[in-house]
Amino acid sequence: MTSDTPIIQVRDLSFSYNGQPALVNVSIDVPDKEFLAIIGPNGGGKSTLVKLILGLLEPDSGKILVRGRSPKKMAHCFGYVPQDVNINIHFPISVIDVILMGRLRHRGRGRINAEDRQKAMETVQLMGIAGFENRRIKDLSAGQRERVFIARALATDPDILILDEPTAGVDTSGKTELYHLLGKLNETKTIIVVSHDLMIVSSYVKSVACVNQTVHYHPGNEITEAMLDMGYHCPVELVAHGQPHRILKTHGDF
Ligand code: ADP
């Protein structure tokens, strides 16, 4: 493998749930240190694609390689922030305990040791939640809670961070702060984010994948009118960096 080899390669991938196709003949390459936004309509297959990349689902046909190996063998490369981290907020657990759970992820059972605590505290600092370690997660805002779950995903220092709709329930300034943090993390990590926040995403991402059973990969952060229409089923005016950001090319079939 050379330094130009994509960190993730998806080739001719198809996947169905009980005979119902969710993704058909998908091929994309994700370069190392990419910041990729996955966009598309609800039910388009975004979460399914993420789960296949993570090795949580197996393709019906085609293949996925992560640094040239199967996703399952490379599970240690991934940090994953699933959807809906705000669902069980009343579970009585502290911020630091959530993050420490991330340390146990790849080694299963075992005692938390001093190195685990040190790494957890490093991610606390990185995510700007110092001082909140002993709070219950229910006592945080949605944006703070999201940072805790990102910290958990970062606790093993993964090369690739994947977030599935990380800003659901987060207010606009919280969203901007979160994407700013992801932009900083992207200096050292590949980031893949499933998002409907096209306005904010377009300021930070390096490429966009439009997913609606098939996948169109667009290098660059230009959001086209066709992408917006696909994501929202109505035309939207984008504002990025405080500037109206009118939309340019289209891509054929959606
Ligand atoms: P998105 O993340 O873009 O909203 P999903 O990947 O969740 O889309 O879903 C893609 C399609 O697969 C949808 O039609 C959805 O109903 C279906 N689907 C998702 N998960 C399952 C499942 N566990 N069992 C059966 N069908 C599913």
- Tell me the mean pLDDT in the region 101-127: 86
Which of 24-28, 187-191, 208-212 shows the lowest per-residue confidence on average (mean pLDDT)?
A: 208-212
Task: For ligand 1, say whether the CB of 47 is within 6 Å of any of its atoms.
Answer: yes
Task: For ligand 1, say whether the CB of 212 is within 6 Å of any of its atoms.
Answer: no
Q: How far is the CA of 45 from the centre of ligand 1 (A)?
A: 6
d(CA 89, CA 140): 9
Given a cut of 50, whether residue 242 has pLDDT beyond it is no
pLDDT band of 64, cuts 50, 70, 90:
very high
pLDDT band of 27, cuts 50, 70, 90:
very high
d(CA 240, CA 182): 17
d(CA 203, CA 201): 5
Q: How far is the CA of 56 from the centre of ligand 1 (A)?
A: 14
Q: How far is the CA of 48 from the centre of ligand 1 (A)?
A: 6
Cα–Cα distance list, 185 to 68, 150, 165, 178 (Å): 23, 11, 17, 11
Given a cut of 50, whether residue 245 has pLDDT beyond it is no
- Tell me the mean pLDDT in the region 61-87: 90
- Tell me the mean pLDDT in the region 214-232: 75
Q: How many C-beta neighbours within 10 Å does residue 13 have?
A: 21
Among candidates 206, 194, 178, 180, which has minimal Cα distance to 231?
A: 194
Cβ-Cβ contacts under 8 Å for 219 (sequence gap 6 or more): 206, 207
pLDDT tens for 136-168 read 998 998 889 999 999 999 998 999 999 998 887
Domains located in the chain, CATH noted: 8-245 (3.40.50.300)
Task: For ligand 1, say whether the CB of 143 is within 6 Å of any of its atoms.
Answer: no
Give residue for tokens 């046909």.
61
Q: How far is the CA of 242 from the centre of ligand 1 (A)?
A: 35
d(CA 53, CA 69): 12
Task: For ligand 1, say whether the CB of 19 is within 6 Å of any of its atoms.
Answer: no
Given a cut of 50, whether residue 217 has pLDDT beyond it is yes
- Tell me the mean pLDDT in the region 211-235: 73
Residue nearest to ligand 1 atom 15, measured at CA? 43
49 Cα nearest atom in ligand 1:
6
CA atoms within 13 A on the CB side of 58: 3
CB-based contact 70:225 (threshold 8 Å): no
Which pLDDT score is estimated for 248?
A: 39
Across the chain, mean pLDDT equals 85
